[in-house]
């Protein structure tokens, strides 16, 4: 079993990424996700740079992005990601009613996606 890399035990390259995460997110410490990725400093750096770019405000605001991330995490069955992105979405303004609606949409989309797949429903020409 792998172990997390704590700041005190991190290489200078890992500490630089940790410092950027802490500064960008205004947190005292990095999440476990980053501590485990730090076993491979190149993956840690690449993943952080991608997350920082993709989750930054853009055409979609941060709350919408977090709710999308949450929906995908539920669909993929990732407990860590569900917890992390539920927390982040709530911090960005997701209400309980919004959370319930997101979960309802996720459930419905998964059900209908599986029905379409099972019945091999062809795409309507109007949708192409």
23-72 pLDDT, tens digit per residue, is: 999 999 999 999 999 999 999 999 999 999 999 999 999 999 999 999 99
Would you tell me how many other CB atoms lie within 10 Å of the CB of residue 17? 22
Please give the model's pTM, rounded to 2 decimal places. Answer: 0.90
Q: Residue 18 burial (CB < 10 Å; 0-12/13-18/19+)? A: buried
In eight-state DSSP terms, residue 122 is P
CA 26/CA 76 separation, integer angstroms: 28
Q: How many percent of the chain have pLDDT more than 90?
A: 98
CA 33/CA 38 separation, integer angstroms: 9
């Amino acid at each position: 079993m792998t172990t997390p890399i704590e700041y005190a035990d991190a290489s200078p390259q890992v500490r630089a990424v940790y410092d950027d995460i802490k500064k960008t997110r205004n947190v005292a410490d990095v999440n476990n996700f980053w501590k485990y990725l730090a076993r491979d400093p190149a993956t840690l750096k690449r993943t952080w740079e991608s997350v920082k770019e993709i989750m930054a405000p853009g055409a979609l605001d941060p709350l919408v992005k977090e709710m999308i991330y949450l929906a995908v995490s539920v669909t993929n069955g990732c407990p860590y990601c569900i917890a992390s992105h539920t927390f982040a979405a709530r911090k960005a303004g997701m209400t309980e009613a919004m959370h319930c609606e997101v979960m309802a949409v996720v459930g419905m989309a998964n059900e209908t996606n599986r029905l379409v797949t099972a019945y091999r429903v062809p795409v309507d020409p109007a949708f192409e």
